[in-house]
């Protein structure tokens, strides 16, 4: 098992399949994009499949989430998902995506074994979408969402980040849209993970502000039926339920004590936290002919060294060198 010295066990593997993205969300990367990883440095589909197999068969991984960058940019995504779905015990398989192109691929992804999906949608206003992502793709995201629901990847979850003076007033409209379409919305507090290092504590929209905005239009109540466990989102019933809304308050209400996640970057580095300042290199081990056990041993050592918390609220906090797009959100 993947245990750390604070008694936590990592069972949820987040795999970044690429650092590339077809949007330029301002809380993530600059409008001109980034210097992408050179192709030879990115894990091949077979290498990803092998590491997922080692995680599941030898290290107790039970859930695998594919993310990026934008994972739909990987042409071999269906094969990667099928390989994970063929494992025993079969892990739960999910995908985090911006939804662009999902209208054409949702059914194939489901057929390959995808169980659940999260689609990112920060605004319903085309001009705000353009400003926030530097692309004109809102309609593509909305049709991707609809295709995910039609393919039965339910409950479709929607991730939204609110930014001051941009989309901060959209919390109620986003919730209304998600309720109308049967999607489950979760707001994510903006974290210091942008490549530009522009995040400011004083400017971020806090969970308290989100609750305040929602409370003006909806009644939120305790969701005692659903146990939170290691889930990042705190969920609430909307207007008595059964619809729910979640808030991932990584900054103002950290949940590191219950964290069960471990991350594999697109270039084969294991990170024990989004905010880790160091990584362990599995790619060079794989490529030097290491055995599964040697790979598993390095992976175990990476998780064993996990710190008790992300430290965002400490005066000595240093943002990680890699941005969210390169770590995998």
- Least spacing, CB of residue 186 vs ligand SAM, in Å: 9
CB-nearer residue toward ligand SAM: 56 or 193: 193
8-state DSSP, 17: -
- Least spacing, CB of residue 222 vs ligand SAM, in Å: 25
Handedness of CA 16, 20, 23, 25 (dihedral sign): positive
Q: Rounded CA gap, 11 and 112, in Å?
A: 22
Query: Interface with ligand SAM by CB under 6 A: which residues?
Result: 21, 27-28, 67-68, 70, 96-98, 120, 159, 161, 188, 190-191, 193-194, 324-325, 329
Cα 120 to chain centroid distance, Å, stands at 9
Q: Rounded CA gap, 283 and 204, in Å?
A: 36
CB-nearer residue toward ligand SAM: 145 or 270: 145
- Least spacing, CB of residue 327 vs ligand SAM, in Å: 8
Q: Rounded CA gap, 193 and 125, in Å?
A: 25
Cβ neighbors of 153 (< 8 A, separation 6 or more) are 106, 109, 110, 114, 115, 116, 117
- Least spacing, CB of residue 200 vs ligand SAM, in Å: 12
CB-nearer residue toward ligand SAM: 27 or 275: 27
CB-nearer residue toward ligand SAM: 11 or 118: 118
Partner residues linked to 64 by β-bridges: 13, 93
SS3 261: strand
CB-nearer residue toward ligand SAM: 55 or 320: 320
Q: Is the Cβ–Cβ distance between 2 and 262 less than 8 Å?
A: yes
Dihedral of the CA atoms 230, 234, 239, 243 (nearest 10)?
A: -40
CB-nearer residue toward ligand SAM: 282 or 326: 326
- Least spacing, CB of residue 124 vs ligand SAM, in Å: 15
- Least spacing, CB of residue 190 vs ligand SAM, in Å: 4
Burial class from Cβ neighbours inside 10 Å (0-12, 13-18, 19+) for residue 10 reads: buried
CB-nearer residue toward ligand SAM: 165 or 293: 165
Handedness of CA 50, 51, 57, 58 (dihedral sign): positive
CB-nearer residue toward ligand SAM: 98 or 123: 98
**Residue number of the CB atom closest to ligand SAM:** 329
- Least spacing, CB of residue 88 vs ligand SAM, in Å: 28
- Least spacing, CB of residue 27 vs ligand SAM, in Å: 4
């Amino acid at each position: 098992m993947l245990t750390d010295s604070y008694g936590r066990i990592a069972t949820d593997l987040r795999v970044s399949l690429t650092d590339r993205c077809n949007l330029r969300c301002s809380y993530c990367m600059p409008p001109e994009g980034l210097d992408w990883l050179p192709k030879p440095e990115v894990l091949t589909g077979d290498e990803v499949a092998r590491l997922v197999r080692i995680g599941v068969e030898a290290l107790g991984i039970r859930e695998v989430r594919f993310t990026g960058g934008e994972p739909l940019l990987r042409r071999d995504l269906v094969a990667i998902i099928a390989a994970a779905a063929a494992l025993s015990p079969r892990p739960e398989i999910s995908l985090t995506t911006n939804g662009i192109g999902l209208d054409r691929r949702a059914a194939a992804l489901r057929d390959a074994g995808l169980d659940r999906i999260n689609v990112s949608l920060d605004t319903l206003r085309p001009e705000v979408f353009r400003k926030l992502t530097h692309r004109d793709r809102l309609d593509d995201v909305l049709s991707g969402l609809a295709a995910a629901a039609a393919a039965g990847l339910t409950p479709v979850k929607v991730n939204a980040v609110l930014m001051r003076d941009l989309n901060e007033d959209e919390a109620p409209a986003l919730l209304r849209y998600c309720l109308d379409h049967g999607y489950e919305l979760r707001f994510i507090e903006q974290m210091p993970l942008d490549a530009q290092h522009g995040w400011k504590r004083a400017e971020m929209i806090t969970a308290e502000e989100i609750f305040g905005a929602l409370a003006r239009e909806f009644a939120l109540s305790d969701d005692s039926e659903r146990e939170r466990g290691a889930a990042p989102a705190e969920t609430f019933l909307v207007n008595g339920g059964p619809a729910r809304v979640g808030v991932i308050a990584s900054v103002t209400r950290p949940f590191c004590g219950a964290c069960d996640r471990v991350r594999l970057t697109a270039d084969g580095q294991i990170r024990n936290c989004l905010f880790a300042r160091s990584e362990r290199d599995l790619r060079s081990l794989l490529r030097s002919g290491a055995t599964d056990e040697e790979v598993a041993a390095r992976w175990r050592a990476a998780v064993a060294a996990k710190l008790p918390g992300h430290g965002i609220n400490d005066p000595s906090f240093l943002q990680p060198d890699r941005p969210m797009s390169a770590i995998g959100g």
